[in-house]
Amino acid sequence: MATRRDAGRSDLPADMVGLGRAYFDFGAQVWQSSLKIGAGYVMRAVDRALRLGPEPWPPRDLAQDVILGLRNCWAELAMVVPFSLQRVSLELDRQAIGQAAVPSVRNVGGREVLLPARIREASQGWAVYFVAADRLRHHLGERAKQFAPVDVGGGRTPVIIFGIDHRESDLGTYHEIAVALLVRPRRDPSPGLLFLSLAADEEFSVEAARTIWGDHKLLAKRMAASYAPAKTTFSVAAGSSSALSVAFPRFGSGRVTDMPICVYSIMPGGPQAEGTVHKMVTTKSTSGAGIQFGGAVELRLGDPTQGDCICHLGPGGGDQACICRVLQDLGVAQRRPAANGWSEHMSGTLGPPLRCGAP
């Protein structure tokens, strides 16, 4: 005979338990990260005071230190939310993680691709900017019918710029520059990334992105990654001053294992004229990785009037405007990122597209 306590447990839906666990975990992450960040700034202030000795700080230096410390502290605290939201999304959708790991085969231009596709060796830089969610809705175009930017506070949404050097993968050897934002489908509370722009220099990668995941990736045959001891520069067209480029500081000794990330796309066809929303789960493992706040990322936007601009590389895909004009309008190029990072060695998988249902 079941006790009252046992009966109560059996009546509690499993998905409600998962929901509770995910949001409890989210709160714990935010609290722990906030405490760690705040304590870090306090300790740095104490260390500096000890180095300076008993003499009072000059008022101007004290004010500058306080302002800089507060700015950096709030930037770090703001970054806690979007990263934690990604984890919550996948905690709520363990089924997607399980489905993403099931092997399947897709045909791309007569060549079979086994999914999940493997990234064996790569390097990656990224930079996060916070922009007004209302302005982003305008730049989503037709996709605004299916997605809404995620407001992580103050009416702002993270926009992320990636530069990736794929040295060995199932989709070939290629460079890639991508711009994504944090969104959620209109009928799904789970946040994930949606690409505003993708460009690569390998034709098979471009065809695979379109055929498998429904992403319109532009072919930039002159793309290059230039390595220096302190930074790596990704450019849409090597040697061109009118092409989009981004340079990421190169640093770090951290390590991450099998971090899942949710990426949304729209697959053509189906009952909806605008296509159906799909989710892809990608996992990433990194070493030689670092993260900093307000780092010296050098973003140079392309000139839309010149042939090397990314918007001249191919058809717009129906809903892709010139990404350089978009970033200019969002004010991204005029300031430092809220956070940026580098991974010297990266591996991972790209899962199959999983239909999220009619938008």
Instruction: Take residue 150 and report the two structure tokens written for it.
Output: 């995620």
pLDDT at 358 over 90: no
* Whether the Cβ atoms of residue 179 and residue 195 lie closer than 8 Å to each other: yes
pLDDT at 234 over 80: yes
pLDDT at 242 over 90: no
Mean pLDDT, rounded, for 140-159: 88
Peptide bond into 304 cis (omega under 30): no
Provide the residue type at 276 as one letter: T
Residue spans of the domains in the chain: they are 4-89, 116-355
Q: What is the pLDDT of residues 111-127, one digit of tens each?
A: 999 999 999 999 999 99
**pLDDT at res. 196:** 93
Q: Rounded distance, CA 311 to CA 182, Å? A: 22
DSSP letter at 189 equals -
List the one residue out of 344, 312, 160 whose CA is nearest residue 237. 312
Q: Rounded distance, CA 57 to CA 66, Å? A: 12
Instruction: Take residue 101 and report the two structure tokens written for it.
Output: 């790991």
Angle between helices 133-140 and 323-330 (to 10 degrees): 160
Residue 319 binned pLDDT confidence (cut-offs 50, 70, 90): very low
Q: Rounded distance, CA 172 to CA 167, Å? A: 8
pLDDT at 35 over 50: no
Instruction: List, as one string, the DSSP characters of 126-169.
Output: EEEEEEEHHHHHHHHGGGGGTEEE---STTEEEEEEEEEEEEEE
pLDDT at 201 over 70: yes
Residue 100 binned pLDDT confidence (cut-offs 50, 70, 90): low
Question: How much is the mean pLDDT over the chain?
Answer: 77
Higher pLDDT, 215 or 20: 215
Maximal C-alpha separation, the chain: 78
Instruction: Take residue 54 and report the two structure tokens written for it.
Output: 């008993």
**pLDDT at res. 152:** 80
**pLDDT at res. 270:** 56
Provide the residue type at 133 as one letter: A
**pLDDT at res. 89:** 53
Mean pLDDT, rounded, for 210-221: 92
Q: Rounded distance, CA 305 to CA 69, Å? A: 41
* Whether the Cβ atoms of residue 277 and residue 266 lie closer than 8 Å to each other: yes
**pLDDT at res. 93:** 56
- Please tell me the CATH superfamily of domain 116-355, with its number: Acetoacetate decarboxylase-like (2.40.400.10)
Q: Rounded distance, CA 235 to CA 243, Å? A: 7
* Whether the Cβ atoms of residue 347 and residue 122 lie closer than 8 Å to each other: yes
DSSP letter at 288 equals E
**pLDDT at res. 187:** 75
pLDDT at 174 over 70: yes
pLDDT at 184 over 70: yes
DSSP letter at 305 equals T
Q: Give the H or E element holding residue 77.
A: helix 59-91
Model-wide pTM > 0.95: no
